[in-house]
Structure 1
Amino acid sequence: MNTQDTNAPRTIAQYLDQLRAALRGADPALIQDALYDAEEHLRAELAEQPGRSEAEMLAHVVGSYGAPEEVAELYRDQEIKIQRALRPPPAPKRRSLTGRFFGVAADPRTYGAMFYMLLSLATGIFYFTWAVTGIALSAGFSVLIIGVPFVVLFFGTVRALSLVEGRIVEAMLGVRMPRRPPYPEQAAMSLMKRIGAMFTDARTWSTLFYMLLMLPLGVVYFTLTVTLLSLSVGFIGAPFAWLFSDFESRVTVDFGFGAHTPGIGDALALSLIGIGLLFTTLHLVRALGLMQGDIAKHLLVRGSAD
C-alpha cells in the first residue's frame, strides 16, 4: 500500500511521465495521442475543480480515468483492434520470384502509394509556398508589434498542416500517424514562456523542414510516376497501334544492319517490355511510399524527431 502511495502521481506532469514510461516501446504516434488525451482530460478536470490541488484531483480522477499503467494498456489494446480493422486484407504469400514480382498488383498499398505520388506535386507546392511565405512574413513582421502574434499563428498553422499530412500519409501509405497534436507540456507556463518553448521545440523545425522538403520530393515522385506509367501504357498498347496504323508503308527503321519495317512481332515484344516496365513501376512506387512514410514518421511525429 505504501509503495502504491509513493508511486502515485502528485501532479499532471508526473502522471504524463508515468504514462509515457508505461507506453515505452509503443508507436510514437500512439504515445503522442495518448499523452494529448490524458493532458486534455486532466486539465479539464482540474479546471472544473478549482478548489482542489492537482494531487487531490488526481487521486479522485485516477479511479475513473485510470492509473497510467491501466491507461497505457487500454491504448495498446485499442490500437491493436483499430489496426486490425483498418488493415487491408493481406495479399497471399508468394514464394516464387515471378509470383512476388507480379503480386505487387494485388497489394492495395501499391495503389495508395501511387495516388500519393501523383498528389505529392500539388501538396509539395502548397507546403513549400506556405512555409516560405510564412517564414518571410514572420521575419518581416518581427520588427512590428504584430510580429509575435503572427509567428504564433504561423506556427499553429504549420502544426495543423502536419496533422493533415499525417492523415494523408496514414490513409494512402498505411503508416501510423498522430491523430492528435502534441500535448502541451508547458500548459502551466506563461504565454511568453510557451511561445519560447514553441521556438525551441525540435518538432516545430522538423515540420517546417518537411514542408520545404516536399517540393523537390513531390517533383521527383510525380515525374517518375507519370513518366514510367505513360511509357508502360504506351508500350503495352503497341500492338493496337500497329493494327490500326499503316506502319508498313510509313515507318522504316535502320539500326545499321539494313532497313527494317516494324511488324506485329516488334509490337508484341514492345508490349511485353511495357508489361515488365509497368510492374517494375509498381514496385518502385511501393518502395517510394515506404520511404516517404519513414520520412513523415521521423519528421512529423513527436518523439521521432526529438
Structure 2
Amino acid sequence: MNQRTAPRSIDQYLAALREALAGEDPALVQDALYDAEEYLRAEVAAHPDRLEADTLELIASTYGAPDEVAAAYRTTEKQLQTALAPPPRREAQGALGRFFAVYVDSRTWTALFYLLLSLVTGIFYFTMVVTGFSLSAGLLVLIIGIPFFLLFVGFTRVLSLAEGRLVEGLLGQRMPRRPLYPERGVPILTRIRNMLVDRRTWTTMFYFLLMLPLGILYFTVAVTGIAVSLGLVFASLVGLLGETGVITIDELTWHFPPTLLLPLLLAIGLLLLTAVMHLVRGIGRMHGALAKNLLVARDGAD
C-alpha cells in the first residue's frame, strides 16, 4: 500500500480492512476487526511520542496493510475449517444407505446433545433476561440504574459469545471467537445511545427469550421421538425373543401384538428412529442459522 492510500488513523485502517473482507463470513469479519483494533491501539499507546499516522505507516510494514491482513485471515480460516471439520466418511451408496448414514454423522450426535442441553440453557437465558430487564426498569429511578443496565447489556454480550462457542462446537455454524471491540473515549451517554440503537443488543435478548420455548420444543421432540422409537424397537425384540423361547417372561402379564406384526413394528421403530435423527440434525442446522442471524453483528460492523 503506497503512502497516498495508506490509512492515516485507526478508524481508516479498520474501514479498509472491513472493505477488504467484504463478502466474507460476518463472524470472521468480527474476529479480524477485533484482532486488528486491539493490535493497533496497543501499538499507538506504546508510542505516545509519535503521531498516529506515523505509527500506522510503520504498522503497515510489519502487521500488514488491510488487504494483506484480509488475505491472511482468509487463508487461516480455510486451514482452520479444514482442521476442525469432522473426519471424512465413505459416501453411502443408494438412497437407503444415505438414509441410515445419519448414524455415522458426528453432527447428528452433537446436535442431539445441543437439543437436550437447550432446555437447561433456555431456562437460564430466559430467567437472566427477564430478571435483568425487571431490575433495570426498577432501578432507573436510582443512581445505580444506568450502570446496572450497562452491566446487564454487557453480560448478555459475553453470554452470547459463550452461546456462540456452543453453537459452533456442537452445530458446526461459524460464530465469532472475539467480542466486538469496546468503544474508547466515548461519553457515557453516547455509549448508552449506541447500545440502545444497536440491533444486536435487542436481537441477542430476543434470542435468549426465544431459547426457552425453543428449548422446551427441542427437548420434547428429541426425547419423545427417541423414546417412542426405541419403545417400538425393544418391545418388538422382546416379543420376538419371547415367542421363540430365547427369553422367558414369568410372573408378569405382557400383552404383545400378534407375532406376525412384531417384525413390522420393529421395522417401523427403526425407520422412525432414523427419521427422528434426521430431524434432530436438521433442527441443529436451522438453529445454527438462527443463532448466527441474531447473535452476530452484520458485516462485523453493528
How would you bin the TM-score normalised by the shorter chain?
A: over 0.9
Match of 1:107 in 2: 105
Q: For each residue in 1:212-247, what CA deviation from the matched residue of structure 2 results, as whole angstroms up to 9, or x when unmatched?
A: 010111010000000000011111101343225769
Match of 2:221 in 1: 224
**Alignment map for 1:208-247 (pairs within 5 Å):** 208-242=205-239, 243=242
**Does residue 261 of structure 2 align to residue 266 of structure 1?**
yes
Aligned-pair CA distance for 1:251: 6.0
**Alignment map for 1:51-66 (pairs within 5 Å):** 51-66=49-64
**Does residue 201 of structure 2 align to residue 200 of structure 1?**
no
Q: Distance in 2 between matches of 1:151 and 1:54?
A: 34
Aligned-pair CA distance for 1:95: 5.0
Aligned-pair CA distance for 1:44: 1.1
Of 295-304 and 13-22, more deviation after overlay is shown by 295-304
Q: Distance in 2 between matches of 1:63 and 1:271?
A: 68
SS at match of 2:273: helix
Name the CA shift for 1:268/1:95 in 2 (closer, same or farther; >3 Å): closer
Match of 2:135 in 1: 137
SS at match of 1:50: coil
SS at match of 1:133: helix
Aligned-pair CA distance for 1:270: 1.3
Q: Distance in 2 between matches of 1:106 and 1:287?
A: 15
Aligned-pair CA distance for 1:52: 2.0
Q: Distance in 1 between matches of 2:23 and 2:127?
A: 36
**Alignment map for 1:7-26 (pairs within 5 Å):** 7-26=5-24
Identical residues among aligned pairs (%): 52
Match of 1:73 in 2: 71
Q: RMSD of the TM alignment (CA)?
A: 1.9
Q: Distance in 1 between matches of 2:200 and 2:113?
A: 27
Match of 1:86 in 2: 84
Q: Distance in 1 between matches of 2:93 and 2:237?
A: 34
Q: Distance in 2 between matches of 1:115 and 1:82?
A: 24
Q: Distance in 1 between matches of 2:119 and 2:5?
A: 51
Q: Distance in 1 between matches of 2:237 and 2:95?
A: 30
The number of aligned residues is 294
Runs of 4+ in 1 over 6 A off after TM superposition: none
CA contact (8 A) 1:251 1:262 kept: no
**One-letter amino acid of the structure 2 residue matched with residue 126 of structure 1:** F
Aligned-pair CA distance for 1:304: 6.3
Q: Distance in 2 between matches of 1:48 and 1:153?
A: 29
SS at match of 1:183: coil
Name the CA shift for 1:304/1:123 in 2 (closer, same or farther; >3 Å): farther
Match of 1:176 in 2: 174
Q: Distance in 2 between matches of 1:205 and 1:138?
A: 15
Structure 2, unpaired ranges of 5+: none
**Does residue 25 of structure 2 align to residue 27 of structure 1?**
yes
Q: Distance in 2 between matches of 1:93 and 1:214?
A: 35
Q: Distance in 2 between matches of 1:41 and 1:84?
A: 27
Q: For each residue in 1:227-275, what CA deviation from the matched residue of structure 2 results, as whole angstroms up to 9, or x when unmatched?
A: 000011111101343225769x9566xxxxxxxx723332222111110
SS at match of 1:6: coil
TM-score w.r.t. structure 1 length? 0.91
Match of 1:191 in 2: 188
**One-letter amino acid of the structure 1 residue matched with residue 17 of structure 2:** L
Q: Distance in 2 between matches of 1:274 and 1:19?
A: 54
Of 188-197 and 270-279, more deviation after overlay is shown by 188-197
**One-letter amino acid of the structure 2 residue matched with residue 220 of structure 1:** L
Task: Say which of 264, 272, 281 aligns to 2:276.
Answer: 281
Match of 2:95 in 1: 97
SS at match of 1:237: helix
SS at match of 1:89: coil
CA contact (8 A) 2:30 2:299 kept: no
Aligned-pair CA distance for 1:4: 2.3
Q: Distance in 2 between matches of 1:251 and 1:175?
A: 47
CA contact (8 A) 1:203 1:300 kept: yes
SS at match of 2:285: helix
SS at match of 1:93: coil
Structure 1, unpaired ranges of 5+: 253-260
Q: Distance in 1 between matches of 2:185 and 2:20?
A: 23
